[in-house]
Chains A and B, each alone.
Chain A
Amino acid sequence: EVQLVESGGGLVQPGASLKLSCVASGFTFSDYWMSWVRQTPGKTMEWIGDIKYDGSYTNYAPSLKNRFTISRDNAKSTLYLQMSNVRSEDTATYYCTRTGRAPFDYWGQGVMVTVSS
């Protein structure tokens, strides 16, 4: 069974940094592109970025590429999202997703990030 489990969220102050993790199981992690998607409290979905199966290529939403970095450790079957200089508008639930035959064919349960002083 495919499972994606995110962690690392919480309450963070504006301007701080935060690193989210996503541990994958139930499939060969190193064979798949992975992505991060976030959902605002108002339920708007926003794609953050993708990373190629071997980590050699990343693609980001233009509005986030200067502050967010996606990486992966295939030996640990783990996907990461490094967030820097966070703002109140980054308050959202962050989802780790896999792309198979369909884009974002599996999703994690999500991890909440709240940016507030």
Chain B
Amino acid sequence: QIMLTQQAESLWISPGERVSITCRASQSLLYTDGKHYLSWYQQRPGQTTKALIYHASVRTDGVPTRFIGSGSGTEFTLSIEHVQPEDFAIYYCLQTLKSPWTFGGGTKLELK
């Protein structure tokens, strides 16, 4: 199965800063249609888990533009510009290129 590694378990940042969360796959997530099958999710306490990004860089409806997905092949990044108080959460990457779909271990954004 494809393994996803989120190296940082936690990142400490201050509101207003920019942060990047990385996700590394054990093999390329590029499919023959030219799309990367990598998604990002946000999990906040007391809220339902929210899909942020799919196909590595496409924001889902209503996701603020400060969330930016990038990367290709095996290396992917979720960047958050000007972090807001509501962005302190756990972020997961997910691959849906090859079953079984697999998640990264998660990265928790914490207040510095």
Contact flags B62-74 to A (C-beta < 8 A → 1, else 0): 0000000000000
Interface, chain A (partner B; CB < 8 A): 4, 43-47, 59, 61-62, 95, 101-109
Q: How far is the CA of A38 from the CA of B105 in the complex (A)?
A: 13
The reply on B76 being an interface residue by CB < 8 A is no
Residue tally, chain B, CB below 8 Å to A: 21
Q: How far is the CB of B30 from chain A (nearest CB, A)?
A: 16
Q: Is the CB of B106 within 8 A of A47?
A: no
Q: Is the CB of A108 within 8 A of B48?
A: yes
Q: What number of residue pairs across chains A and B have CB atoms under 8 A from each other?
A: 49
The reply on B60 being an interface residue by CB < 8 A is yes
Q: Is the CB of B48 within 8 A of A109?
A: yes
Q: Is the CB of A47 within 8 A of B102?
A: yes
Q: How far is the CB of B78 from chain A (nearest CB, A)?
A: 14
Q: Is the CB of B96 within 8 A of A45?
A: no
| Residue from A43, A45, A61 having most chain B Cβ neighbours under 10 A | A45
Q: Is the CB of A44 within 8 A of B54?
A: no
Q: How far is the CB of A84 from chain B (nearest CB, A)?
A: 19
Q: How far is the CA of A103 from the CA of B106 in the complex (A)?
A: 17
Contact flags B35-57 to A (C-beta < 8 A → 1, else 0): 00001010000001111011000
Q: Is the CB of B54 within 8 A of A47?
A: no
A43 touching B106 in the complex, CB below 8 Å, given contacts A61-B100, A103-B94, A104-B41: yes
